[in-house]
Amino acid sequence: MTPAVFERLADITSLIIVATISTEELDTRIASDREKVERIVGRTRRVTLPPHDEDRAGGHDLAADPARTGRGRHERPRLSRRRTVTLFVLAVAILVGVPVVIFWRSSGCFPVVQLNVLTTPEKQALVEDRARAFERELMKTGQCAVTIQVSTARSAHTAIDLLSNGWGDEALLTAPRPHVWLPGSALDLEQAKRLTEQRDLLEFTPESLGSIARSRLVLAVPPSYQEWTGRSSFTWPEVSNAVARGELLLARSGPRSSSSGLAATMALYRHAPGGTGDVHHRIEQNLESPDHEGSYDLMCAVRHSFPPPAQPFAVLTTDKVVEDYNAGRPLRADCPKRTTPEGERLHMLVPAEQPVLLDHPYVLIGALTPRRDEAARALHTYLRSPASESALKKHHFAPPGKDDGAGTPPGGVEEVLGIWERARKPTRLLVALDVSGDMRDGLRGSPMNNRLAAAAAEVYTAVGGMGPRDQVGLWTFADRPGDIDHEELMEIGETTKDETLPARLQERLNALKPESHPGADPRDVVHDAIDRLRETSDDEGEDEAIDAVLLITSGDESPDRIPADLRPPVSTPVFVVALGLNGCAERTSLRRIAEQTRGQCYDVPGAEAMERAFDGLAVSLWGGGTSGETS
């Protein structure tokens, strides 16, 4: 007989054994219940039934008379027909079933292989549907059985962190260690590999077998925005510009939380006007709720936000997620299935340029046993087979294609994530501007009358490029009589979201004139500025904000000033703009300040150098980590 026949016999034998055991239990229960009924009926007769005449004379109880009831007679015990059949069936099961099980074990199909699959919330329904179909297909064709357990990680960051950490004991409390990982795109796999290398984890050796599905980034807008709903496409530069200028409220899931959020961030940064750190910062500061964990979290927030704001609003996510939203599918526990009203269904626009595609790879994790490896590869083949195409369409995915993969802009994933980490945080910048007599001199190449006017104009331009959640403060300083060298013109805490801020800032800057006092010791000014940032940070609760001091001075060192360390050491970066030739030279106070605070010191002898210095400030604040190097 073939293995398939023996497998069927094994299944039948198992059913027979279960049925036999069930029959014996039923016989026992029937006998027990019969005795209970007879005892109850007997007691009832003694209470309710009148005795016959002879019973009255003899004093007998009808229910207690063995001759009347038939109980108590000596009879030869006989085995019931049902019990005979039961024993016969049990004997057949043992004779037939044991060889079948022995053969099944020897054929390599025992024990049953369990395959643990980790996927995204967006693919959970698809993978569970295909996993059950795959299990049925194996049984139908007589192959070795496989059981598949599907689990999900709410965000890509969670999955990447657990996988690159070896899926420790805490993770096992939530889900079994996966053998197969189905991330949102190859971008997630790239991050996992990098973290694994950093943590020196040899057990994580992923092998990508290729894509199982495809989705693409789209811009989804409510039907009320007719300017957008009448179109079928958009361009990345127009969206990046509109967001940077605050003309479009854009929602996007976090780039560490989902592949769609990361791919969207890459596209926005790649096409940002100028591509500089301050533009990236403005984009992030103008995003609407930029830190949703995943795509379904984002769409759940959109569902709860209707009606949308009057300002143009859009969502940047995948077509699959928008289709699920419009179809009213469940997104989260607090976003159950529902019928989406016509007025809340989103209109999708596709990029006019080359589309950004998510490839949904199929990744084997670690060293698998031969049978599990065979099962995992067979599942991948099944997911890519024509049998799964209708399921992909049902769950709003496209079949995998040759051009799969989300495009990665120059610099790669980690550089983009580094820029995002800085750009997304609000900045609290305190500007300390030298107004001493040394600022009367002119600045080469500048149309302004003196250094102070040139610096004031550049400060106004820089503040205009900050985001709506940023804060700015303005001080002036000189060696004035008394204990305090600085004067506070604008208190830190003023946000650029305040529409009156630009006019008030310009008014104060235009009113500045060089004073007759000499230059103050910059170390005292820096200490006071950092203390002020700390005080207001506690009051405002801006723990995640980037605090920084911008010190703009003539750069002229007093010959009797000895460079010394700041006391106590500080961690707030100080960026120094020295309007002279040698303000940032070796062994100057300004250079020491920049080095000790991991800031930057810029020598600015002319107008072009001034522009480069402020561009460097933007890169240091929002385009990457601060550096201790000076220039």
pLDDT digits (tens, 9 = 90+) for 278-329: 788 888 888 876 566 789 999 998 998 877 777 788 999 999 999 999 999 9
Long-range CB contact pairs, 5-8, < 8 A, 24+:
6/100, 6/103, 6/104, 6/107, 7/100, 7/104, 7/109, 7/142
Q: How far apart are CA 587 and CA 317, in angstroms?
A: 52
Rounded-to-integer distance, Cα 308 and Cα 382, Å: 42
Q: How far is CA 132 from the centre of its chain?
A: 27
pLDDT tens track for 251-274 = 999 898 899 999 999 999 888 887
For 366-379, what is the mean pLDDT?
A: 93
pLDDT > 60? residue 347: yes
The residue among 274, 228, 327 whose CA lies nearest residue 622 is 274
Per-residue pLDDT tens for 527-550? 999 999 988 875 444 447 889 999
Take residue 266 and report the two structure tokens written for it: 């890459």
Q: Check: CB of residue 198 under 8 Å from CB of residue 316.
A: no
| Percent of the residues in the chain that have a pLDDT greater than 70, as a whole number | 75
Cβ atoms of 212 and 338 closer than 8 Å: no
Asked if domains 113-213+360-384 and 425-622 share a fold, the reply is: no
Identify the pLDDT of residue 625. Answer: 35
Q: pLDDT tens, 85-123?
A: 555 545 555 554 444 444 444 456 778 899 999 999 999
Distance CA 389, CA 395 (A): 10
Q: CATH fold of 425-622, please?
A: Rossmann fold (3.40.50)
Check residues 131 and 174 and name the one with the higher pLDDT: 131
Give the per-residue pLDDT at 538: 56
In the chain, where the domains are located: 3-106, 113-213+360-384, 218-355, 425-622
From residue 618, give the alpha-carbon distance in Å to each of 180, 466, 611, 621, 630: 42, 10, 11, 5, 15
The two tokens of residue 308 are 């949308």
* CATH number, domain 113-213+360-384: 3.40.190.10
Place of tokens 């995002």: 420
Q: pLDDT band for 575, please (50, 70, 90 cuts).
A: very high
Task: Pick the range with the lowest mean pLDDT from 159-173, 347-361, 364-378, 500-514.
Answer: 159-173
Tell how far CA 191 is from the center of its chain: 13
State pTM to two decimals. 0.70
Stretch among 164-168, 220-224, 603-607 having the lowest mean pLDDT:
164-168
Burial class (CB in 10 A: 0-12, 13-18, 19+), 128: middle
Amino acid in the structure at residue 199: R
CATH fold of the domain at 218-355: D-Maltodextrin-Binding Protein; domain 2 (3.40.190)
pLDDT for res 243: 92
Distance CA 529, CA 524 (A): 9
pLDDT tops 50 at residue 511: yes
Q: Which of 174, 618, 137 is nearest to 423 (CA)?
A: 618
Q: How far is CA 147 from the centre of its chain?
A: 28
For residues 45-72, b (16+ Cβ closer than 10 Å) or e, as one string? eeeeeebeeeeeeeeeeebeeeeeeeee
Backbone angles phi, psi at 546, to 5 degrees: -95, 110
